[in-house]
Chains A and B, each alone.
Chain A
Amino acid sequence: MKQYFKNTWDGLFTVFIGMKVTFKHLFTPAVTIQYPDIKVKLPDRVRNRLYVNMDDCIGCDQCSRACPVSCIEIETVKSIPGEDLGFTSNGKKKALWVTKFDIDIAKCCYCQLCVFPCPTECIYMTDVYEFAEYERSNFIYKFATLTNEEAAQKKINYEKLQAEKAAAAAKPKPETPAQTENKSE
């Protein structure tokens, strides 16, 4: 019987204690933030969306090779003599036309391994983290600054140069093998 009244008392009293706690919390300021309006400042070395500064890119392909998930695709075309591609911001001479620099950010695992090999520090992580898309194809970010026509033109230029070189190299060629043939005979 004593236990019965004790149970009753405990049942009521503990409820009141709990109610006191929740009532206090009713007037505690919220610990949450209104996310899209207010954003928490991110840490300095945060890893989010990749960005490539194409002015500095020399098309060395090192980031692509470092990528563990192969999300970077680079195609380059050698420049022909007389074309001035300029210099990177840390003084390296650019020698390649970067005709394709695609990053499939949907594949990216945000490991930042591509950032370290870059000799010109042109590929880096930004603090942008809201880049949801409706189409998966929109996740392929195209960084190449050349238009398709320009890229095609560069390719043709280079092939022309190669052909000229080959032609130049081929002209004396038939003579030399002939001579050797003669010699051997």
Chain B
Amino acid sequence: MYQFLYNLIGNELIAGLLVAVVPLTIILVFALFGIWLERKVSAHMQDRLGPMRTGWHGWLQTVADLMKMLQKEDIVATGADKTLYNIAPILVFTGSFAAYAVIPFSSKLLGSEVEIGLFYVLAISSLVVAGILMAGWSANNKYSLLGAMRAAAQIISYEIPTALIVLSMVMLTGTLSLDKISQMQTSSFWNWNIFGGAIFGLSKFLLIPFMFVGAMIIFISTLAEVNRVPFDIPEAESELVAGYFTEYCGMKWGMFMLAEYGNMFAVSAIVSILFFGGYQSPIGYLGNSIGAQWLVPFEQGFWFIAKGLTLVFVQMWLRWTLPRLRVDQLMTVCWKYLIPYAFINLIIIGIISIL
């Protein structure tokens, strides 16, 4: 992407900025769409209708809310540490935005072709923890502090099963590059990693059950990492008001919201790249069969967004199905269940992949 734009424009700075604008646009549009979707999904699951009055089925509701948020007064409590308080939302948003740098939306639309994309995503998404702690601590509010502490404990705990599953996928595929992992799972859904990868043989069939377990574990643990229900104890609206962003208002609060939805899509993208073929079509490309090669990247983009949105929908579906976990239950799920299963899964996948 960057190379293409650089060749087109011939200016490093402009090309770099343009590359950065693409994921930003995607996050913003997705956040607008995601919040609307969340409202509609929640409403219909509760036999309601949700927003109906702004545009067709309320599709402009989020835009209207954004307008309201932009007009709001920026209030900072006197007891708050102003510097940290102002940096925190930016840091949280940066963390989720930076993860998009290496996510391949299609074979052509890829911010940075780094070889260690997976490692980078895991590392950069930890920045969010720092931002959350900062937000909670600087706000000088007991609910914020409690929420931030819970968030830190939760995200750090759940990074372990995530990392273990990512590690097992790295062992299987032999690369950390998200683009290469996507390319390996080409041509058919049967070649996706959840069905044991592209290499046909005994090991593929042996891998399938462990891949299912792995996909489930990484989905659960990433769900916990983005603080979604049933793992939303940092935000826990019935106990902690809004958790670490209780004191925030206006667009700073909006940035936390953007970061949350950005993160949702980012982790869905990672799960879909690792297990569901990334941008690869499950049934082959129309562009290849009618001989229009230029169509393929667009189709890939479509499939990537479709897979991401499906996983986001499942996240929302779970949100409106399950009650919140208690703190001890949260830790039990992570340390007593997910980590042992992930670890055994890692060993078994390792043994099978050297067979």
Contact = CB atoms under 8 A, between A and B. Distances in A.
A19 B41 CA distance: 13
A7 to B, nearest CB: 8
Contacts of A27: 44
A26 B321 contact: no
B337 A26 contact: no
A139 to B, nearest CB: 28
A184 interface: no
A31 B49 CA distance: 9
A30 B44 contact: yes
Contact of B321 (A22, A30, A31, A34): A22
Interface string A1-22: 0000001100110010011011
A28 interface: yes
A32 interface: yes
A18 B314 CA distance: 13
B320 interface: yes
B218 to A, nearest CB: 15
A25 B320 CA distance: 11
B52 interface: yes
Contact of A25 (B44, B216, B322, B333): B44
A17 to B, nearest CB: 9
A23 interface: yes
B317 interface: yes
Instruction: Bin chain B's interface residue count.
Output: 10 to 19
Contacts of A11: 333, 337
A11 B318 CA distance: 13
A22 B45 contact: yes
A26 to B, nearest CB: 5
B288 interface: no
A7 B333 CA distance: 10
- Grouping DSSP codes into helix (H, G, I), strand (E, B) and loop, the A interface class, with mixed when no group exceeds half, is helix
Given A15-B322, A30-B44, A22 B317 contact: yes
Contacts of A21: 321
A34 B48 CA distance: 10
B47 interface: yes
Nearest to B230: A15
B44 A8 contact: no
Interface in A32-53: 32, 34
Given A11-B337, A15-B322, A30 B49 contact: yes
A22 B43 CA distance: 11
A8 B341 CA distance: 10
Contacts of A26: 41, 44-45
Interface in B43-91: 43-49, 52
A29 B52 CA distance: 15
Nearest to A32: B48
A25 B46 contact: yes
Nearest to A15: B322
A22 B320 contact: yes
A8 B41 CA distance: 28
Contacts of A25: 44-47
Contacts of A30: 43-44, 47-49
Contacts of A34: 49, 52
Contacts of B337: 7-8, 11
Interface of A: 7-8, 11-12, 15, 18-19, 21-23, 25-32, 34
Given A19-B317, A28-B44, A29-B47, 12 more contacts: A7-B337, A11-B337, A18-B321, A18-B322, A21-B321, A25-B45, A26-B41, A30-B44, A30-B47, A30-B49, A32-B47, A32-B49
20 contacts: A7-B337, A11-B337, A15-B321, A18-B321, A18-B322, A19-B317, A19-B318, A19-B321, A22-B45, A22-B317, A22-B320, A23-B317, A25-B44, A25-B45, A25-B46, A26-B41, A30-B44, A32-B48, A32-B49, A34-B49
